[in-house]
Amino acid sequence: DAGVTQSPTHLIKTRGQHVTLRCSPISGHKSVSWYQQVLGQGPQFIFQYYEKEERGRGNFPDRFSARQFPNYSSELNVNALLLGDSALYLCASSTGQAPRVDTQYFGPGTRLTVL
């Protein structure tokens, strides 16, 4: 079975630009979460979607937005990029039905560099 896939693998943007990152969950998974991982730190929660509805939001500015499609894939959008947005962006999928014990399956991430 295919795992969580993310695209693109790497991305270079300049300050002020906009970026869209994509995630395809494991087949049958209805929940997708997004995390930002700055070099040397643990991942930080950005958003969680379940059945196309936002279920949780982390402490990120409104420049960050996301959505989930009917096929449960998801997009993370970041507007007005700042140098500090340079990071590895991780997507995780899960069934969404038992949050306490569900396993989150992470993709390999998209490495975003802002110049």
Partner 1 sequence: DAKTTQPNSMESNEEEPVHLPCNHSTISGTDYIHWYRQLPSQGPEYVIHGLTSNVNNRMASLAIAEDRKSSTLILHRATLRDAAVYYCILNPGTYKYIFGTGTRLKVLA
Q: Which residues bind partner 1 (CB under 8 A)?
A: 4, 31, 33, 35, 40-45, 48, 55-56, 58, 90, 92, 94, 96, 99-109
Q: Kindly tell me which of 15 and 107 has the beta carbon lying closer to partner 1.
A: 107
The least distance separating partner 1 from the CB of residue 37, rounded to whole angstroms, comes to 8
Tell whether omega for the bond before 99 is within 30 degrees of 0, i.e. cis. Answer: no
User: DSSP readout, 22-37?
Assistant: EEEPPTT--EEEEEEE
The least distance separating partner 1 from the CB of residue 2, rounded to whole angstroms, comes to 14
The least distance separating partner 1 from the CB of residue 75, rounded to whole angstroms, comes to 18
Q: Kindly tell me which of 6 and 81 has the beta carbon lying closer to partner 1.
A: 6
Output the CA–CA distances (angstroms, integers) from residue 98 to 39, 52, 56, 87, 104, in the order listed.
31, 17, 15, 29, 11
The least distance separating partner 1 from the CB of residue 100, rounded to whole angstroms, comes to 5
Q: Kindly tell me which of 66 and 107 has the beta carbon lying closer to partner 1.
A: 107
Quote the longest CA-to-CA distance of the chain: 40
What DSSP state is assigned to residue 112? E
What is the distance between the alpha carbons of residues 51 and 49, in angstroms, rounded to a whole number?
7
Q: Kindly tell me which of 12 and 80 has the beta carbon lying closer to partner 1.
A: 12
